[in-house]
Structure 1
Amino acid sequence: MKNEEIFEKTRKVIFENMIKSEREGGKKFHYTKPSPSRYPFQFFWDTCFHVFILNALGEHTMAKEHLISLFAMQKEDGFVGHMIYWDRLMPGRLADFFQSKPRLKNFFQSHMSALVQPPMAAQAVAGVYEASGDEQFLKQMLPKLKEYYRWLAKNRDFNGDGLLTIISPFESGMDWKPTYDPVVGFSGKKANWRLFLKVVNVDFRNYLNNYNFKKIYQKGYFLVKDVGFNTIYAQNLKALAGLCKDMEDPAGEEFGKLADRVSKSIVDVMYDKETCAFYDVHGKEDIKIKILTPTVFYPVVLKNIPEEIAKKVMDTHFFNSRAFATPYPLPCVAQSHSSFNPGESMYIWRGPTWIVNNWFLHQFLMEKGYREESRKLIDSIKQLIEKSGFREYYNPFTGEGYGAKDFTWAGLVVDMMKMEEKEEEKLI
């Protein structure tokens, strides 16, 4: 499939999934649904993905409006929820109901969930600013970003090591990730209704505790420091520090130091020398969950991760292992793990290929000169789109598309293609 066709198809999906309201008397919103029917809300990290895609398509004004919409209901303390229910009386699924605080008004007006998602907003804003040079936009967003990341540090760094703790499996963005099985007490090889009840029960207990983080931490029934989540956090703190520097804002030093601290803690707490991998950890004792998923690679993208560690991780689990070597990479758990299921299931993130992992790892491979490998990740997504269209996730062996249709994430390939173009220009 030609590059022009990929861009055209991506533009079509994004624009068909886009929703905008300019009603008089209400808050304006402008966002893209991840899919038209299954995911009709504004999601935090999906919005950031859409900003990367829109930037690659040259739609910088729309990208700005998406981010302004994302922060339109930001709380005074800086909090922004992982789902924004614009004009919705209730979430679409019963399980989602327990992800918001128990408030009667939630039934009658737009509101946010009480959970968070991987905090990619600073990178998204930085991408828009780099592409548009719009200082007014940056001046508008910078105070919001500072308060948001300060909220995260204040409310989710329970141990004081800089790392953030998620309190629900749905906060990492990788629902039903196998590393959470031992945390919720599920020991079955394949996901079933028992796992469903255990996971939903986590949100139910958070709901009963009115999302009081001190109580939730004391009870300790789901406390996970997710590698992917914290890698994204470190990246975005660094991006925020850069934005502050551009605006001559002294807070840049604050966020730069915190980014370095988070990166150091990722190595100290999550890296396992014996197996050369970064693992999610859980509980107040930071117990490593030694299950191989693509997030074992994520920290290698951080600039201050020791080069020898990054090399060991990639050599052991990417270049010299069959764990993730499938015709359509990357499966979201190692093929050898008992939970691995490459087919369609309601228990997603347990085997199929999700585009975000390709997108995330691509930046490392490209920057480190692994040109063949980085292009392979791009070519794989192109083939998946040609074979199955824009789907939520794909079979890593056959390329068959599963889950939601007209799902936007495959559009991240245009951002990857733009990054490749910029890198090639540097070499000329």
Structure 2
Amino acid sequence: MDMLHYQTVNACIKELMGKIRQPAQGLFKYPSLTTTAGKFYSAGMFTWDTHHMTLRFAMEGQPEMMKYFLLTMFQFQRSNGFVPCVCSSVDGGSSTSGFHAQPYLAQNAAEYLNLTGDLETVKTIFGNLKKYLEYWLTVYSAPLGLFRWGETWMSGFDNEITGTIFPTGTILPPDLPSLLYLECRAMGFLARKLDLPDAEFEERAKKIRDAVNEYLWDEEAGIYSSRNLCTDKLQTSWSDGFLNSTVGKYAYVSCPSLLVLFAGIADQERAGRMIGTYVLSPDHFRSRFGIRSLSRSSEYYNNARWGNPPRFGDWKRLTNSNWQGPVWIPLNWFVFHGLLRYGFRTEAEKLADDTVELIYKSFQELGFMRENYDAETGEGLYADQFASWNLLADSMHLYLNSPEQAIPLFPWENERKTR
């Protein structure tokens, strides 16, 4: 890695962090973070964006942003456990999103507690976390012990290919149960720290892990895939029986599969096979700029600035969030940690280096970061002055070279080793 490039990216990110921290305002009782330093995404506080941003702030000695994030989210929780995915300082989020907050809140709380030891705050929100998680586990439950998004874009992978092609509710993807597995593990960790029973959460985590391994692993293809409820088959390829077997073979090799590695659900053999065949292959996920959001060998692969189809069923509303090819920093982040987890340290370091070089290129050419990047050229595609999870672009090297400065993402695993 070019150290000057790293230092430049690090300095630019730190400068940007100062621009996106906002004081308490309107209905927000605590300081908050904006997703960009510009005009895009100004509607409110987005769940998975803010979760990742607070990790970066904590690495800079501001862990209180994690606490403020959690307290603000639960400020708008409803009696049934629902938490708006996008919270607004104007109306709380009621007019912005009908989606439940993406499953990162328990992980954020566990990481915060592990970092600060702030039992008082965690005790205050533990009941909220429990209701929020139960809402996920009941409202979005599906056959086979698995789960499904209410709509594809609820995941944040707005136009992910399987959710886009097939009818709503018919696809059981690997990303949601992977995140819920982590949420259950995080809740078990929090319960133990509060001297509360943890068996309920650990048992749920085990059931989810077992279901993913039993029903979402495609042994023939060597990858975790979505299950199609209409056919009761894994939807890795077209596999309709009428076309040559090479046509559509990798049509649905898509980014939700990568979360299984991040969560640590796969065993070493399956993970190694999936990483070798798909994650590191230039024919599939690995671009010289990072991780593609869809296999390059998929017939649907593209790097369009505007994704298909339009959002929310409205043909006039184009979706800028194209997850059918472009590189996104959160995918680099998830895969980086998956590679480290399964012993691919050299490959993880190369991915971290490529991420820094991509963002350096963006700052040099544009003066800011974009939301996503063309996987073949590195061209920035959308959203000026983007911050969000891109703030983590320079932090992967901390996990390699200065782990004491990084935020442990899975504190329950370290706890297990020492208990």
The TM-score, its normalising length taken from structure 1, stands at: 0.79
- Asked if 2 retains the 8 angstrom alpha-carbon contact of 1:234 and 1:263, the reply is yes
State the partner residue of 1:357: 331
Aligned partner of 1:50 in structure 2 is 53
Contact 2:84–2:100 (8 Å) recurs in 1: yes
AA paired with 2:100? V
What is the CA-CA distance between 1:404 and the residue it aligns to? 0.6
User: Is 2:278 the partner of 1:317?
Assistant: yes
SS of 1:391's equivalent in the other structure is: coil
Listed one character per residue, the Cα deviations across residues 295-332 of structure 1 (whole Å, up to 9, x for unaligned) are 32321334453322222212221245621232112111
Distance in 2, Cα, partners of 1:140 & 1:58: 23
Match of 1:334 in 2: 295
Instruction: Tell me what 1:301 maps to.
Output: 262
CA distance in 2: counterparts of 1:303 and 1:296, whole angstroms: 12
Give the conservation status (yes or no) of the 8 Å contact 1:18–1:31.
yes
Instruction: Say whether residues 1:125 and 2:125 are aligned partners.
Output: no
d(CA) in 1 for partners of 2:232, 2:192 = 34
Change (3 A) 1:417 1:58: farther
Separation in 2, partners of 1:364, 1:80: 28
Q: Equivalents in 2 of 1:129, 1:4: separation in Å?
A: 30
Q: Equivalents in 2 of 1:360, 1:286: separation in Å?
A: 28
Mapped to 1, the partners of 2:156 and 2:357 lie a distance apart of 25
Query: Which residue of 2 is the match for residue 187 of structure 1?
Result: none
1:181 corresponding residue in structure 2: 164
- Where 2:382 maps in the other structure, the secondary structure is strand
Distance of 1:311 and 1:54 partners within structure 2: 33
Q: 1:247 deviation in Å?
A: 1.2
Distance in 2 between the 1:49 and 1:79 partners? 21
Residue 390 of structure 2 is aligned to residue 410 of structure 1 = yes
2-structure distance, mates of 1:424, 1:181:
41
> What SS does structure 1 have at the residue aligned with 2:377?
coil
Which of the numbers 396, 399, 414 marks the counterpart of 2:375? 396
Match of 1:165 in 2: 148
In 1, the alpha carbon distance for the partners of 2:48 and 2:202 equals 22
Closer/same/farther in 2, CA of residues 53 and 176 from structure 1, 3 Å limit: same
Q: For 1:277-288, list aligned pairs within 5 A.
A: 277-283=223-229, 286-288=232-234
Q: CA deviation at 1:166?
A: 0.8
2:21·2:34 contact (CA, 8 Å) conserved in 1? yes
Q: Which residue of 1 aligns with 2:89?
A: 86
2:340 to 362, 366, 376: 366
Cα pair 2:73 2:84 within 8 Å, conserved: no
Structure 1 residues 236 and 332, CA gap change in structure 2 (3 angstroms): same
CA deviation string 1:162-185 (max 9, x = no partner): 32211211111101111223314x
**Residues 297 and 314, structure 1, Cα contact 8 Å, conserved in 2:** no
Pair 1:398–1:424, CA change in 2 (3 A):
farther
Show the 5 A alignment for 1:107-146.
Answer: 113-146=97-130
User: Structure 1 145/175 Cα, relative in aligned 2: closer, same or farther at 3 Å?
Assistant: same
Residues of 1 paired with 2:253 and 2:220: CA distance? Answer: 14
Q: How many residues align?
A: 367
- Residues 260-318 of structure 1 show CA distances to partners (whole Å, capped at 9, x for unaligned) of 11111111121111101111224366442211123323213344533222222122212
Q: Which amino acid aligns with 2:187?
A: L
The yes-or-no answer on 1:65 pairing with 2:68 is: yes
Give the match's secondary structure for 1:305: coil
Could you tell me how far 1:17 is from its partner in structure 2?
2.3
1:150 and 2:134 are equivalent in the alignment: yes
Distance 1:354 1:54, change over 3 A: same
Contact 1:86 / 1:110 at 8 angstroms: preserved in 2?
no
* Separation in structure 2 between the aligned mates of residue 10 and residue 333 of structure 1, nearest angstrom: 27
Tell me if structure 2 keeps the 8 A contact 1:117–1:173: no
Check conservation: 1:118, 1:233, Cα contact below 8 A. no
Distance 1:39 1:425 in 2: 30
Which residue number corresponds to residue 199 of structure 1? none
Contact between 1:271 and 1:278, CA under 8 Å: does it hold in 2? yes
Instruction: Give the residue type in structure 1 aligned to 2:66.
Output: A
Whole-Å Cα distance in 2 between the matches of residues 388 and 321 of structure 1? Answer: 22
SS in 2 for 1:8: helix
What is the identity, as a one-letter code, of the residue corresponding to 1:31? S
Contact residue 18 and residue 32 of structure 1 kept, 8 A: yes
CA gap 1:117/1:417 in 2 versus in 1, 3 angstroms: farther
Pick from 217, 222, 243 the counterpart of residue 276 of structure 1.
222
CA apart distance, 1:22: 4.2
Return the alpha-carbon distance in structure 1 between the equivalents of residues 115 and 166 of structure 2: 42
Amino acid aligned to 2:176: F
Q: Is residue 162–residue 261 contact of structure 1 (8 Å, CA) maintained in 2? A: yes
CA distance in 1, matches of 2:333, 2:107: 14
User: In structure 2, do the counterparts of structure 1 residues 57 and 6 end up closer, same or farther at CA, with 3 Å as the change threshold?
Assistant: farther
TM-score, L = length of structure 2: 0.81
Residues 111 and 254 of structure 1, relative CA distance in 2, 3 Å threshold = farther
Contact 2:171 2:228 in 1 (8 A): yes
Q: Which moved more, 1:227-236 or 1:168-177?
A: 227-236
- 2:111, 2:160 → 1: CA distance? 29
Match of 1:95 in 2: none
The answer (yes or no) to whether the contact 2:213–2:265 under 8 Å persists in 1 is no
Cα distance per residue 1:195-235 (max 9 Å; x no partner): xxxxxxxxxxxxxxxxxxxxxxxxxx434322122211111
For the residues of structure 2 that align with 1:274 and 1:333, how far apart are their CA atoms?
19
Aligned to 2:41: 39
1:87 Cα deviation after fit: 0.9
Q: 1:217-256 alignment to 2 at 5 Å?
A: 221-250=168-197, 252-256=198-202
